[in-house]
Amino acid sequence: MIGDDFSEIREAVAGLCSKYPEGYWRELEANCRYPSEFIAELTAAGFLACLIPERWGGSGLGVREACAILEEICRSGAHAGACHAQMYVMGSLLRHGSEQQKDAWLPGIAKGDIRLQSFAITEPDTGSDTTRLKTAARKRNGHYLVSGQKVWTSRVRHSDLMLLLARTSPYEDGPGRTFGLSAFLVELADAEKKGLSIRDIDATINHHACELFFDEFPVPAENLIGEEGKGFRVVLDSMNAERILIAAECIGDARYFIEKASKYARERHVFGKPIGANQGVQFPIARSFADASAAALMVERAASLFDAGERCGAEANMAKLLASEASWRAGDAAMQTFGGFAFSKDFNIERKFRETRLYRTAPVSTNLILSYLAERELNLPRSY
């Protein structure tokens, strides 16, 4: 388990989550609702401001503590995907934002008056090839005018600020693949009146994803995060934090499946004995326990490196890879253990199974992680 020394945090998160039982999450899905009440209570309790320094009203904690929070949310049966962006987007603002930007936004975010839940990078024609994105930002009269398209941008309708990556100089003009990209904090109030069109995507459970269309949308120059043309480095901190935190969520999902399957295997009797007495039932659950325990160690390692300000790209990617596969296998073991009842929504297994499947694809796919490790860690030829 990640951060066993954070027992007080875990107990507090579990207590809060107990007010939102699994029926709450089923109702949200049935009605395409956002968990506004749950997010408001998480914010009021200070959990979503855990990474913000005390100077600006936060708790001043690290990614290790944030991992414990998100893991516990998922372990309780809730869906941390509705709130995790505020934690990982924070990495860009905290590490690369100016003092003026931090003074302007962090106190409001910490109090819950400002929601930072959206991260706009992916485009329809580029996908994971971030360096080839086409959304452009041209500087004119103290503003950047943004034109282009983003897709799979989550929680736009539930955010006040959005981190945006756009191209401020052509790909061909730069000294390297990542040059020419710039990061901005976009204020979303009245944005649809200023050149931003938002189209909802009918997507997987409680994901609240949108497609965005920018038409000369103005962003104040003071909203540039870091240096112009060097935004890839800015969002990389958010990307590494995102992978670590989502890996922690996957550990929480895996624990959820393992605990549910173990309890059911002890209580369900067939042919005069509990089904958990059969090795064909108990071995997949035991294997999942081993997989999740090993993946949790890598998540802990990656989070510790991130908090220390050290390079952690490989560890963040491995944590996400191992944890997402451990949660998927644990979910499959739970589905098999529950048998036909796994497909009943009342048992909640199929809902969590669908939730956790996303993380083998997003925010970075398994194959891209393997390519990264092959090239960066094993010195193998670049494959793409």
**Sequence-separated (6 or more) residues with CB below 8 Å from residue 283:** none
**Residue at 383 is within a domain:** no
* One domain for residues 273 and 361: yes
For the entire predicted model, the pTM comes to: 0.94
Question: Which letter does DSSP use for residue 49 in this model?
Answer: G
* One domain for residues 149 and 83: no
**Residue at 249 is within a domain:** yes
Pick from 93, 99, 96, 78: which is nearest to 26 by CA?
78
Domain range enclosing 212: 116-229
Q: Where are the alpha helices (DSSP H) in 99-229?
A: 99-111
Q: Where are the alpha helices (DSSP H) in 1-128?
A: 7-17, 22-31, 36-44, 63-75, 85-96, 99-111
* One domain for residues 296 and 268: yes
**Residue at 381 is within a domain:** no
| Residue 335 belongs to domain with CATH number | 1.20.140.10
Look up residue 270 and give its amino acid: V
Structural domain ending residue among the three candidates 206, 229, 252:
229
| Residue 156 belongs to domain with CATH number | 2.40.110.10
**Residue at 82 is within a domain:** yes
**Residue at 1 is within a domain:** no
Hey, what are 226's tokens?
Answer: 């870091």
| Residue 98 belongs to domain with CATH number | 1.10.540.10
Per-residue pLDDT of the chain (384 residues; tens, 9 = 90+): 554 679 999 999 999 999 999 999 999 999 989 999 999 999 999 999 999 999 999 999 999 999 999 999 999 999 998 889 889 888 899 999 999 999 999 999 999 999 999 999 999 988 778 889 999 999 999 999 999 999 999 999 999 999 999 999 998 877 778 899 999 999 999 999 999 999 999 877 667 899 999 999 999 999 999 999 999 999 988 899 999 999 999 999 999 999 999 999 999 999 999 999 999 999 999 999 999 999 999 999 999 999 999 999 999 999 999 999 999 999 999 999 999 999 999 999 999 999 999 999 999 999 999 999 999 999 999 987
- Degrees to nearest 5, angle at CA 106 with 123 and 47: 85
- Residue 54 · residue 112 · CB < 8 Å: no
How far is residue 36 from each of residues 39, 40, 160, 235, measured CA to CA in Å? 5, 6, 14, 27
**Residue at 2 is within a domain:** no
Residue 198's CB is within 10 A of a number of other CB atoms, namely 14
How far is residue 219 from each of residues 85, 171, 199, 268, 330, measured CA to CA in Å? 21, 21, 20, 59, 44
